[in-house]
């Protein structure tokens, strides 16, 4: 980052551009009919073999490119990309760094619109690597070919079984299809987040590894996912901004239509050095400047990989919160107190408010729960709670105009709890008027139950703090949307 300038109260970030930005249609990249794997291998442990094997699970016309083989995995081999019988939509370069430039030039001659280079050994290793990466950029400059990478994991689109990743599916299970688009500058972070999503049954729309961003970058993919109707939230891990000013502009435009969550790292001097050696990124050391710019754009900021997924699944599945008045419902008083502190504390929590239940609400609650249970917020249903009690209490809370959102803390130890509680939680999370997230602080027993809720689009969390954080993100989303509506109204008034 070079500088930040102030215009009024808005902070604008400015980074140098490396390419003149031209809007690019990425449809063929995400929905290719034909794919070439340059550097395809017969050896199962090789990257080129793994990628080809994974792609065979989808419905694509596949072309292994290897001048030393006649066929691989039952598919006819070709010596070069330019020797293929058709112009493929995507070519994946699974060759070493010293062979990448020539392979890329061959793809350009063949008219391939999208090339993905998975090898490392470029700008992240220093000057020699930067020179090779610049040769790649020169090879595509002024052509119809766009480049993802180098040093990238590639793409994953679960819905169509487009799996370009070179990691074993057995060791790195892929997530199912969903509505969160995950874009990461780091392959390891990308892997960690999608594996966490798979483990908890959170579906993803797509996974994109940016790598060194020699050409295509986060701005291109934000623009694509903004237009994609099946994407409900965009989650990004970034070590640098390729064009910070452009990022703020596009992110603001996207955020007005759908949520954007960013985990931005490299904001300390040590972190910036680590980012540079990882993906060749030029990172900013001004954390305050980054936070201000993201807030200005309506982007929610995550501080670690868990928050990135936690925020994204809430924002992808639930509507924003119009206020910050939270009701907590559970069957354990101690957990209710802990959650209350997370809601209300401005130092150790999220600075929201505990909803004040109306007298009418409390009167109706007294009719449905034991006399020794609490009708104050947090509502404590005690260990005699039943599925029906949860249903009736949630129905009553839904009608209270002083409640903006609900934290439902489910414990499955009480003897009267059954699997019917799944239907109760889904009913009010999906069909209620108040956004609702589910927490369950316990051992392994509820994990399959929580996974089933996630499959139904109900955000679940295994800690109270994570659940309250999700509600905080929904509230911040609501504040941004209200601000943009006010700006639009004032703009119309001035007009």
Report the distance separating Cα 166 and Cα 155, nearest Å: 10
- What percent of the chain clears pLDDT 90, i.e. is strictly above it? 80
Confidence of residue 13 (pLDDT cuts 50, 70, 90): very low
Per-residue model confidence (pLDDT) at position 419: 83
- CATH 3.40.50.720 domain span(s) along the chain: 24-151
The C-alpha torsion from 340 through 346 and 349 to 352, rounded to 10°, is 60
Range(s) of the chain covered by CATH 3.40.50.261: 152-317, 320-479
Q: What is residue 267's predicted lDDT score, i.e. its pLDDT?
A: 67
Q: What is the mean pLDDT of the chain?
A: 90
User: Among 2.60.40.1180, 3.40.50.261, 3.40.640.10, 3.90.1580.10, what is the CATH number of 152-317?
Assistant: 3.40.50.261
Q: pLDDT of 20-51, one tens digit each?
A: 445 689 999 999 999 999 999 999 999 999 99
Mean pLDDT, residues 149-167 taken together = 97
Q: Strand 75-76 vs strand 260-264: parallel, antiparallel, or unpaired?
A: unpaired
| pLDDT tens sequence across 423-469 | 999 999 888 889 999 999 988 888 888 999 999 999 999 999 999 99
Maximum Cα interatomic distance, the chain, rounded to a whole number of Å:
80
pLDDT at residue 422 is higher than 90: no
- DSSP-derived secondary structure letter, 50: H
Q: Mean pLDDT across the stretch 264-278?
A: 61
Lowest mean pLDDT among 124-128, 264-268, 339-343, 355-359: 264-268
Q: What is the pLDDT of residue 278?
A: 46
Under 8 Å between Cβ of 412 and 446? yes
CA distance 7 to 81: 50
CATH superfamily of 24-151: NAD(P)-binding Rossmann-like Domain (3.40.50.720)
pLDDT value, residue 81? 98
Q: Which of 20-29, 76-85, 265-274, 426-435 has the lowest mean pLDDT?
A: 265-274
CA distance 466 to 270: 28
The band of 273, judged by pLDDT with boundaries at 50, 70 and 90, is low
**pLDDT above 80: residue 284:** no
Mean pLDDT computed over 111-116: 98
For residues 289 and 263, the answer to whether their CB atoms sit within 8 Å is no
Band of pLDDT at residue 11, cut at 50, 70 and 90 = very low
* pLDDT at residue 442 in the model: 81
> What string of DSSP letters covers 108-163?
HHHT-SEEEE----SGGG-HHHHHHHHHHHHHHTTSS-EEE-SS---EEEGGGTEE
User: What pLDDT is recorded for position 268?
Assistant: 58
Residues β-bridged to residue 234: 181, 260
Length of the chain: 495
What CATH superfamily classification does 320-479 receive? Succinyl-CoA synthetase domains (3.40.50.261)
Question: Phi/psi of residue 410, each to 5°?
Answer: -95, 125
């Amino acid at each position: 980052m070079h500088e930040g300038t102030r215009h009024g109260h808005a902070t604008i970030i400015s980074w140098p551009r490396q390419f003149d930005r031209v809007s690019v249609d990425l449809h063929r990249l995400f929905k290719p009919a034909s794919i070439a794997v340059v550097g395809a291998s017969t050896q199962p442990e090789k990257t080129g073999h793994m990628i080809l094997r994974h792609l065979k699970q989808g419905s694509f016309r596949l072309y292994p490119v290897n001048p030393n083989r006649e066929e691989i995995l039952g598919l006819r081999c070709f010596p070069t990309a330019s020797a293929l019988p058709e112009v493929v939509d995507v070519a994946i370069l699974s060759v070493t760094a010293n062979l990448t430039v020539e392979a890329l030039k061959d793809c350009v001659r063949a008219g391939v619109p999208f090339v993905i280079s998975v090898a490392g050994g470029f700008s992240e290793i220093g000057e020699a690597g930067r020179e090779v990466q610049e040769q790649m950029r020169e090879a595509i400059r002024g052509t119809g070919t766009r480049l993802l990478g180098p040093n990238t994991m590639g793409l994953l689109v679960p819905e169509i079984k487009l799996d370009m990743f070179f990691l074993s599916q057995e060791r790195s299970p892929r997530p199912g299809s969903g509505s969160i688009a995950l874009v990461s500058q780091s392959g390891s972070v990308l892997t960690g987040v999608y594996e966490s999503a798979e483990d908890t049954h959170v579906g993803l729309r797509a996974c994109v590894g940016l790598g060194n961003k020699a050409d295509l970058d986060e701005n291109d993919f934000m623009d694509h996912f903004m237009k994609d109707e099946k994407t409900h939230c965009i989650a990004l891990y970034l070590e640098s901004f390729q064009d910070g000013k452009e990022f703020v502009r596009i992110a603001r435009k996207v955020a007005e239509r759908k949520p954007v969550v960013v985990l931005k790292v490299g904001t300390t001097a040590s972190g910036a050095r680590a980012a540079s050696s990882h993906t060749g990124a030029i990172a900013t050391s001004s954390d305050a400047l980054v936070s201000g710019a993201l807030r200005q754009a309506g982007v929610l900021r995550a501080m670690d990989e868990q928050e990135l997924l936690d925020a994204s699944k809430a924002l992808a599945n639930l509507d924003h919160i119009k206020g910050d008045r939270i009701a907590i419902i559970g069957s354990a008083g101690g957990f209710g107190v802990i959650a209350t502190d997370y809601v209300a504390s401005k130092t150790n929590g999220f600075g929201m408010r505990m909803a004040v239940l109306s007298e009418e609400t409390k009167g109706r609650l007294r009719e449905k729960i034991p006399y020794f249970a609490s009708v104050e917020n947090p509502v404590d249903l005690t260990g005699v709670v039943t599925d029906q009690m949860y249903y009736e209490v949630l129905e009553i809370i839904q009608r209270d105009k002083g409640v903006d959102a609900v934290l439902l803390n489910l414990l499955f130890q009480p003897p009267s709890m059954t699997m019917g509680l799944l239907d109760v939680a889904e009913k009010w999370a999906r069909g209620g008027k108040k956004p609702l997230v589910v927490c369950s602080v316990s051992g392994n027993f509820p994990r399959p139950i929580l996974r089933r809720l996630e499959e139904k689009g109900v955000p679940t969390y295994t800690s109270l703090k994570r659940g309250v954080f999700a509600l905080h993100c929904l509230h911040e989303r609501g504040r941004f949307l209200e601000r943009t509506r006010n700006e639009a109204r004032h703009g119309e008034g001035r007009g």
